[in-house]
Structure 1
Amino acid sequence: MAAFIVESNANLVKSIVIATQYLYPGLLLLILLLVGALYSIYTARNNNDVIVPTVTGPGGRPLPVTKKRHINSESEEPEGRFSPAIRALFQWIYATVTLTFVGQGAAIATRALVEKSADDDYAWWCGEAKAVYTLGSAFLYLYVFIALFEHKHQPGPVYILMWLVALCMEVIIVTCDAIILSQPHEVVVHLGPTKYMIVDTMDQWDILDLSLSGTRVCLVAGSVVVWVVCALMERRAEREKCKREQEYHSEADENTPLLNPELNGYHTNTNGHVSPGVNGLCDGTTNSDSSFAMVDEDAGFYRPEKLPHTTWLEYLSGYSVFFPYMWPAKKLRLQFVVVLCFILLALQRWVNIMVPYQIGLVTNELTESHKSDSGEKLPMQMPWASLGLLILYKLLQGPSGLLGSWRSMLWIPVSQHAYRALTTSAFEHVHSLSLDFHLGKRTGEVLSALNKGASVNSFLEQVTFQVFPMIVDLFVAVSYFYFRFDAIYAVIVCIVTFYYLLLTIRLASKTADQRRAMSNADREEEAVKNDSIISYETVKYFNAEEFEFRRYRNAIKNFQKAEAQVTWSISSMNMYQSLVFMTGMLAAVMFGAYQVTQKQREVGDFVALITYLGQLQGPLNFFGTFYRTVQQAMISGERLLELFKQRPTVVDGPNVTTMTSCNGRVEFSKVKFAYDQRKPALRNLTFECRPGTTTALVGESGGGKSTLFRLLYRYFNCQDGTIKVDHQDIKKFSIDSIRRFIGVVPQDTILFNDTLMYNLKYANQNASDEDVFAACQAASIHDKIMSFPDKYYTKVGERGLRLSGGEKQRVAIARTLLKNPKIIMLDEATSALDSHTEQQIQSRLATIGRGRTMLIIA
């Protein structure tokens, strides 16, 4: 009975140590990845100092939340919480921990080669659990060691959690090993008829193994103690600092003057001068209406030279703004197509598993010998069924196979819908932005950003059908090797995959700024080209062709220089990736070949192993290529994302109503406005325009006459005072409804590159040809148009450049008349006319303005 109890306890201890060794590397890796991801989410959410309320884009869809963060002026990466000496101590500790596993692995390999019987009947083996524990942990702690060198803020809470779990498991392993080795125990052997042999005592190899394990326990425990002590000291220092600050503020409350500049929005610089602080404007006042425009450096949508580095959570949350535009929420047919595509995707994953399995099966059927019942060797038969299944699987496999081709064809309408939704939404968003944005924008830069819709669409499609399946393939590969072969192969695949992806991400992230520079240079080339072509006449007026050619050549050279740096980085990355994968493949193939030579596996298994490893290389190589492609697409899409983040400064209030009728009474009451607070444009402007009257605005250039029109048309909101139409504040009405009753003839008329009829009917698409003729006669342009060869179907050219300035102004007047507004604003509308035509139009102003309120800048 006592012997039975002792044997049961021994078996229990053995089971515990085996289970712990199997779980050790996988559990620590899971903590490192999963808890690390959750902790990064937590820190990303708590590092934001200011969060602007949610903004909606076209169609009421949410736009990204704008976040402001403290930026360290010295370095983008914050300083670590530990001193350099403590960080060096952690580095040496985990370098030694890694070496203990390397030493155990070397001892295992040496002992396996040394401890063989004379006639090779058996050979010592550590066991699968011990091999998995040693191999997996060595590479895991190698990563920890590398991370401690790369990041100044490590080790953080994630590492201390991992070390605590590791310490507990190490203690369990050492204790169980000591119990097992101190008494007669079984030793795993190979090549013999039995799998185990009984050993009575502990030899020098066991003592070395326990010594290394004990050293590791002491090192891990020491790192935990050092981390906890440092954390407690840091917390104590923070409490003392807070206490000193409270004491300082309590003294300051008694001694601070009532007129403290800093408390009133001012601070004193090093020269003793008082300047505006962050809490106030130049005059010490704050503005309650945040919807007026301030023309500043951000209004022009200029490209930053180097975008800030953000966390992966912030990147994904930023790009998530595109998802509502791309999902076919109101189209059930397209949603069914999406589900069908995902079913085909799952079938592709199943086929990827079956191909190497079927190859191994065919190989075994071709190599194994068949004998009859009497012992005679039978002739080999063709494995028709297995070969047929293999060809079928190969026909279905891959992106160019039947499943991949069907999925690509089915996805076409979904992709087109996503591209159409995203690009049209971006187009709508640009039109929804206020005038301050369009006054400062570079047209070529905005057009370049709008063209990035294809990059975003391609990025999201590749993530859905290539990155996500690749991740699934990697998990399936680990599971396949674990169940089809054994855990050692699964550990090798995990190590290769982890370090391959880690190497790819690290090297690609280091070249992110190079890619961003290349993307910036590409957009600069586009901007230079577009701006120069748009300003064709200006180039010719000043004989600046050679200057423009040289500017464009320099833009191309800058792009090619950045492109060459990126290409060099890509080639270097490919070499390192191949080295990592081939090293892992060498280890797996050598181990598999050894097992085949020792009759532990069949030749078909070895062929299946090579096939699946080669098949695994495809997703990994694709990830290397795709990561760079995705990175380039994301960097290109950043400009579109930044464009989406631009917000209109003049928007409808929460309780606006629609203006349904208008008599034309206009009132300005003590209106103040300034594009820049240092130079007001309007001060206490008060006047009234009654319905049916004509009001002339006369003044020097830059006196604010055009600004008055912009305020009435709701391009801007006044900063003080009120503007009323029919005794109602215009802010109480929706912007669109009030603009329907206002017509504007601008100082610089822009026409579409189409026919005159198209440009005239643009104001009123329902107008008849007779209405167009009447409006043109009122504007004294009808006879001129009829003298053209194509009459009203004459092409006006880019921005109407084929017409003279006077002809364009008269077309603009006719177009405004077709809108039939109750309020007409003419901004020096006759400045480009000859005296005779100007007198004709002025004589008809009484007829044009009958029943309308007219404001004229003369």
Structure 2
Amino acid sequence: MRRSTALPKPPAGQPLPETHVWLTLKTLFPYLWRYRLRVLAALSCLVAAKVANVGVPMVFKGMIDELSGPQQALAMPILLLLLYGALRFSTGLFTELREILFARVTQRAVRQVALEVFRHLHSLSLRFHLERQTGGVSRDVERGTRSISSLISYTLYSILPTLVEIGLVLGILFVKYDLGFVIITLVSLVSYIVFTVKVSNWRIDIRRAVNENDSAANTRAVDSLLNYETVKYFNNEAWEARRYDEQLIKWEDAATRSQTTLAFLNLGQQMIIVLGVTAMMWRAASGVVDGTMTIGDLVLVNAFLIQLYIPLNFLGVVYREIRQAMTDIERMFKLMQENREIADAPDARDLPNGPLQVNFDTVDFAYDPERLILKNLSFAIPPGKAVAVVGHSGAGKSTLSRLLYRFYDVTGGSVRINGHDLRTLKQSSLRAAIGIVPQDTVLFNDSIFYNINYGRPEASREEVFAAARAAQLHDFIETLPQKYETRVGERGLKLSGGEKQRVAIARALLKNPPILIFDEATSALDSGTERAIQSQLEQAAIGRTTLTIAHRLSTVMNANEILVMHEGHIIERGTHQALLAAAGSYARMWTLQQQENGNMAEPEKL
């Protein structure tokens, strides 16, 4: 089947946006202006280098005129030769000084922008991170930071030097020769620049389509590799390769069109340069024949043309690269413009020290406005007490922990700690006071020690070992060849589900927070390990305000209060024994789970 030659669209099907050049430069400028002294010194070196470079052909002209005169004197050409060498050296010296002065500015700007983007991404809401595509975002950040260096380098080392040199050459041609040389040079330059800008602007959407499809292909590849096991489970390697190739075909079409239009641009630029050079040399040669110009003048004009020709010929490439860099930087800065759905209030304060009480006061919440998850929910967790929440999947149990961490703000009502609405507290202070063992434990691709120590990075090795023992993990780690330095693999895939969950328990215990959340904390453990760890969890919860979210009712029997949720409501509440005696929903779930476990012991004897 013949492929379409139409311009590939971005994967989301959105129109290709305009590149906002000045807005992007305005955003980037403050990062450079912090080092204004270095910038100004580098610019001074740039001008000095170009003055020396333009002086070289003039000295060369003087040497030729002296040597071609009727009375050749050796002293003057030797002096000019020394001056020629000094100017050549000065050009290189000031160019390298400019590089030395500006190197720190460029790298520091790249570092600061990359760090700011990284911090901003971490400050965005959970909603953004659930919807983002990791491969595309990482590629945008990588290309954007790399393009900052490219943009600065091309501007300082190509565009500005060329403009300075053009200005100096035009001034010399105007002062030393007639206006015709200036007009020919200006017409050539303007024609070249206008043609380059017009064609490059036409090509920018093609180049952006290449980037969009490159990011989309990378996103598909990363997503597929992250889900390697799932691909294998369903024998879908060919399916994944076909999906990846579908995006690569779009990238190939865009990249091919980009290359062919580049050839057209280069051809037009060469034609303009050739016509300009021919006209200049014809006028200079005519001047020599008429006796109004010397051989040295002809050499000078030719040298000027060559000096302008080389950077001007490269100017087209530079312009394309700068527009490319602008496009990449714009995509990265758009990440910086992502709205922080959850942000600290201007007068936000730290969470006070001491025992903490948690209150959910008539809370309503919806991820999507059309589907309410929590409805008029109210309960309290007194200081040092344990409250458990149980219910069928989809009842809204795990949403409670996300609201308590303030990953989202409530739609109605409020969540309070010691009477303080979470929206009035600093997020860093709030989250420092909470430890969690999540249902789905994802670990860093680092050592077991690093992953446990992540709960409190300043903790000593002995404290990390103690937390591992409390999570019934230490003995297992000691059996491994590299012990605590064993790497867990991408997302912890080298460990079993139970081992990962015990790492998460050890990490939460090491953090030692006043509020603990156990979100299906033992769901991946076998019954024997679960009983061993359950006692450790209960021991760790003593004196702490604890919220336990569980499916296995055997893990919440000792809670001070148990809440039974159904479709966002609390339908029952009480102690284990009281709920069994009520013979309601909780009692039915208990009986069903006991039957599944093959254990029909009388509830009142437990």
TM-score of the superposition, structure 2-length normalised?
A: 0.84
CA distance in 2, matches of 1:574, 1:413: 34
Letter in 1 for 2:543: G
Q: Does 1:384 align with 2:78?
A: yes
- Does 2:175 match 1:483? yes
Q: Which of residues 110, 113, 123 is equivalent to 1:422?
A: 113
The change in CA–CA distance for 1:624 and 1:573 in structure 2 (over 3 A counts) is: same
1:448 to 139, 155, 158: 139
* Rounded Cα–Cα distance in structure 1 between residues aligned with 2:242 and 2:493: 26
Deviations 1:438-478 (A, max 9, x none): 11111101111121201122212321332122222222222
Q: How does 1:71-220 map to 2 (within 5 A)?
A: none
Pick aligned residue for 1:322 from 14, 17, 28: 28
Q: Distance in 1 between matches of 2:163 and 2:386?
A: 71
Structure 2: gaps of 5 or more residues: 1-9, 551-606
- SS for the counterpart of 1:698 is strand
Distance 1:339 1:381, change over 3 A: closer
Which amino acid in 2 is paired with 1:361? G
- Cα contact 1:450–1:640 (8 A) shared by 2: yes
Kept after mapping to 2: 8 A contact 1:319/1:641: no
Deviations along 1:354-392, one digit per CA (max 9) or x if unpaired, are: 12212221221122212xxxxxxx788772112222233
| Map of 2:88 onto structure 1 | 394
Correspondent of 1:724 among 416, 431, 436: 416
Give the alignment's Cα RMSD to 1 decimal.
Answer: 2.2
Do the aligned partners of residues 302 and 660 (structure 1) sit closer, same or farther apart at CA in structure 2, a change above 3 Å counting?
A: farther
Please give the per-residue CA displacement for 1:375-420, whole angstroms capped at 9, x wherever unaligned: xxx78877211222223333444xxx33323432443333322222
After superposition, give the CA deviation of every residue in 1:601-641 in whole Å (9 maximum; x if it has no partner).
22211221111112111232121110111122122222212
Letter in 2 for 1:356: P
The aligned amino acid for 1:418 is A
In structure 1, what is the Cα distance between the partners aligned to 2:201 and 2:129?
34
Displacement, 1:701? Answer: 1.5
Give aligned pairs, total.
540
Cα contact 1:519–1:635 (8 A) shared by 2: no
- Cα shift at 1:810: 1.5
C-alpha contact 1:780 1:810 (8 A) present in aligned 2: yes
For the 8 Å contact 1:712–1:723, the answer to whether it is kept is: yes
TM-superposition CA deviations, 1:521-545 (whole Å, max 9, x none): 2222322332222222222222222
8 Å contact 1:786–1:792 — kept in the other structure?
Answer: yes
Measured in 1, the distance between the counterparts of 2:373 and 2:162 equals 60
* Per-residue deviation, residues 245-288 of structure 1 (Å, max 9, x unmatched): xxxxxxxxxxxxxxxxxxxxxxxxxxxxxxxxxxxxxxxxxxxx
* Residue pair 1:675, 1:681 contacting (<8 A) in 2 also: yes
CA distance in 1, matches of 2:389, 2:241: 44
1:23-42 maps to which residues of 2 (within 5 A)? Answer: none
Q: Counterpart of 1:367? A: 68
- Determine the structure 2 residue equivalent to 1:745: 437
The superposition leaves residues 587-612 of structure 1 with CA deviations (integer Å, 9 ceiling, x where unpaired) of 22222222222222222112211111
SS across alignment from 2:521 = coil
- SS at 1:675 equivalent: coil
Report the AA paired with residue 384 of structure 1.
I
Aligned to 1:525: 217
Structure 2 residue 18 is the aligned partner of structure 1 residue 309? yes
Asked if 1:407 is matched to 2:98, the reply is: yes
Q: Please, which runs of 5 or more residues in structure 1 have no aligned partner?
A: 1-300, 330-334, 371-377
| 3-state SS in 2 of match to 1:658 | coil
Taking the aligned partners of 2:275 and 2:142, their CA distance within structure 1 comes to 43
The 5 Å alignment of 1:700-779 reads 700-779=392-471
Give the Å deviation of 1:725.
0.4
Greater displacement, 757-766 / 593-602: 593-602
Shift of 1:800: 1.1
User: TM-score, structure 1 length as denominator?
Assistant: 0.60
| Cα distance change of structure 1 residues 381 and 795 upon mapping to structure 2, 3 Å threshold | closer
1:776-801 deviations in Å (ceiling 9; x for gaps) = 23322233223333332222121111
Contact 2:351–2:430 (CA under 8 A) maintained in structure 1: yes
* Paired AA for residue 323 in structure 2: Q
Q: Determine if the alignment matches structure 1 residue 814 to structure 2 residue 523.
A: no
Amino acid at match of 2:85: I
After alignment, is 685-694 or 561-570 more displaced? 561-570
Deviation at 1:338, TM superposition (A): 3.5
* 1:667-723 Cα deviation digits (max 9, x unpaired): 111111111111111111111111121111112222221111111101011121111
Q: Secondary structure at the match of 1:709?
A: helix
CA distance in 2, matches of 1:381, 1:685: 100
Show the counterpart of 2:51: 350
Confirm or deny that 1:603 pairs with 2:295.
Answer: yes
CA 794–733 in structure 1, closer or farther in 2 if over 3 Å, else same = same
Structure exhibiting the larger radius of gyration computed from Cα positions: 1
Q: Give the partner amino acid of 2:27.
A: V
Query: Quick check: 2:11–2:216 contact (8 Å CA) kept in 1?
Result: no
- Structure 1 residues 606, 769: CA separation in 2 closer, same or farther (over 3 Å shift)? closer
Separation in structure 1 between the aligned mates of residue 141 and residue 75 of structure 2, nearest angstrom: 64
Which of 779, 782, 785 matches 2:477?
785
Counterpart for residue 565 of structure 1:
257
Instruction: Determine the structure 1 residue equivalent to 2:391.
Output: 699
**Residues 1:660 and 2:352 aligned together:** yes
Distance 1:382 1:843, change over 3 A: closer
